[in-house]
Amino acid sequence: LACFSMEDDNLELPDGTVRQRIKQAIIDEREEDWEFDRLLNLHQEATLTGVGLLECMAVCHHRPAVDKMWMVRRLVWREPSLVKEIDTSSRKSPLHFFSERPLLCFTVCQRVVFELLIKHGGMDMVKVRDRSGNTPLHTASSSPSSDASVMEWLCLHGAAEIINAPNRHGKTALRLQGENERGRRCLL
């Protein structure tokens, strides 16, 4: 359990420490949402890039969709450049991560998150390729967690132009969707 006392409120912390504490507040299911908010408010001058905060939001399973949406909005409002942050090993963007692990059945919350990512990252975010040559549409098509609504949203926002573009393994998003059991159900 990451425990930070209220005495920290008066401390000036290095940006890296602030980022790590915010990341911990996101991923630790025992951490209260108010700690996340407190850290953002307290350290308004700290730079938030460099630790994959939006990736953490996408992959943490314990937070309800509404909480995740609220937290993503706070992060993007505070530091819009987070939406263009690319993971150094996988080369995935936040749009890749949220396409792979969408919020519950493509709720209003998921649409808000996608719209924030596109608004601050640009329409070309749907065409960004990861290390394997996958666009967010490829990622959504091959993910067992994704559904047809995610793929439809991506296509309506520019991915339709590249629906037949192969990744580095020669597979298109449609082929990946057909190979994915859940994806086959979406095609029917």
The two tokens of residue 111 are 């649409």
Per-residue confidence (pLDDT) for residue 186, from 0 to 100: 53
| Domains by residue range for the chain, with CATH | 63-187 (1.25.40.20)
Q: What is the pLDDT of residue 6?
A: 44
Which single residue is written with the structure tokens 């939001």? 57
Enter the pTM of the model.
0.86
DSSP secondary structure code for residue 107 in this structure: -
Please give the structure tokens belonging to residue 17.
Answer: 């420490």
Name the residue with higher pLDDT: 10 or 17.
17
Q: Which of 6-15, 41-50, 61-70, 171-180 shows the lowest per-residue confidence on average (mean pLDDT)?
A: 6-15
pLDDT, residue 7, reads 47
pLDDT of residue 182: 61
pLDDT digits (tens, 9 = 90+) for 118-170: 999 999 999 999 999 999 999 999 998 887 889 999 999 999 999 999 999 99
Backbone angles phi, psi at 41, to 5 degrees: -70, -40
> 60 pLDDT exceeds 70?
yes
Q: Residue 133 — φ and ψ, nearest 5°?
A: 85, 15
Residue 184 has pLDDT above 60, yes or no: no
pLDDT at 3 over 50: no
Predicted confidence (pLDDT) per residue in 94-124, tens digit: 999 999 998 875 678 999 999 999 999 999 9
Enumerate the H helices of 143-180 as residue ranges.
Answer: 148-156, 173-179
Strands (E), 118-183: none
Nearest CA-CA partner of 106 in 140, 73, 157 = 140
B/e letters for 98-127, b = 16+ CB within 10 Å, e = fewer, are: bbbbbbeebeebbbbbbebbbebbeeebbb
Within 10 A of 53 (CB to CB), how many other CB atoms are there? 25
